[in-house]
Amino acid sequence: MKWRKLGRIFRAAGQRPWMQSHCSMPFSEPVEGNIVRIWFSPRDAGNRSHTAWLEIDLNAPADILRLAEKPVLAPGISGAFDHRGAAGSCMTRHDAERRLYYIGWSEDEIDPFHIAIGLAVSSDTGTTFTRHSTEAVLDRNANDPAMVSTPFVLRTAEIWRMWYLSVTDWPVSAKQPHYNIRQATSLDGIAWRTDPAPCIAFHHPTEIAIARPTVLEDGDIWRMWFCHRGSDYAYRIGYAESRDGLTWDRRDEHAGINVSDSGWDSEMTAYPHVFDHGRERYMLYAGNGFGREGMGLAILEQD
């Protein structure tokens, strides 16, 4: 597998009052022709995540056609699970609805931060979203005792499936928690049953974190892209394959994309989202500083 980078498409830098920095968690939605809407999560001056969008033509991805005037999802009410940020992670269709699964950030006197997974719903083709509930649809539980985040949700004919980040450990000496990828299932996309075993576990000697899965059911092969980092390296994009979407064979050597020699993505490639458009396959990803330096686009040249 080999990806050709098409360059940075956008960097949040004060274009809106709530868009002071970062382009985290990008994902796509088709509009018409070669025009796609890119959803992403910028931060305000208080470092709180919002969910917003822009539109591009895939033939000229660096030219922004439209940029949201206001976020579709902002931080929640004081004390809520998402009062410090609401970052979109993926979107699915359910009948006439668009379902936006997002990352809710909170903090209190005990926890420096806490993360859970929320759901917002749109009935007007994505113009506005309303929270399904003031509570998370997936939070800490018996299989995920600390935190959950970065969901990717896929609706199949039989069941709803989610792959997500699960915090496994938070060593006293570490500034950040350790986490891998787990999976859950649901009959309605709202109430989730989690699997106690990780589906993407630590692989590299110094690896401490695996995040933001994106999954495609590609014929008889399920493909997953994600990002991973270690105590001595920043996020890189990894890859895995499965025959059933349950048991995964990690093949990072086939990810086909790495950091650049210089520039906005020379230190980090993070939060991949892979999508098909026409006969082409594309990847969105965030660059240095967890998307502080912007987000970019790549196209698959060799499978």
CATH code for the domain in which residue 151 is found: 2.115.10.20
- Please count the other Cβ atoms lying within 10 Å of the Cβ belonging to residue 197: 11
* The 97-106 sheet, strands edge to edge: 85-94, 97-106, 114-122, 130-131
pLDDT band per the 50, 70, 90 thresholds, residue 109: low
| Contact yes or no for 235/252 (Cβ under 8 A) | no
- Residues 67-92 have a mean pLDDT of 96
Percent helix, strand, coil in the chain, to 5, is: 0, 55, 40
pLDDT confidence bin for 303, thresholds 50/70/90: confident
Give the range of the structural domain holding residue 53, as residue numbers without chain letter. Answer: 2-302
pLDDT of residue 158: 86
What is the spatial distance between Cα 270 and Cα 25, in angstroms, rounded to a whole number? 8
- Check residue 19 and give its pLDDT: 98
Q: What is the pTM of this model?
A: 0.96
**Nearest CA to 289 among 4, 11, 51?**
11
Q: Is the pLDDT of residue 1 over 70?
A: yes
CA 217, distance to chain mean position in Å, is: 18
Per-residue pLDDT, averaged over 44-57, amounts to 98
SS (H, E, C) 108-166: CCCCCCEEEEEEEEECCCCCCCEECCCCCCECCCCCCCCCEEEEEEEECCCCEEEEEEE
Domain count along the chain = 1
| pLDDT, average across residues 223-237 | 97
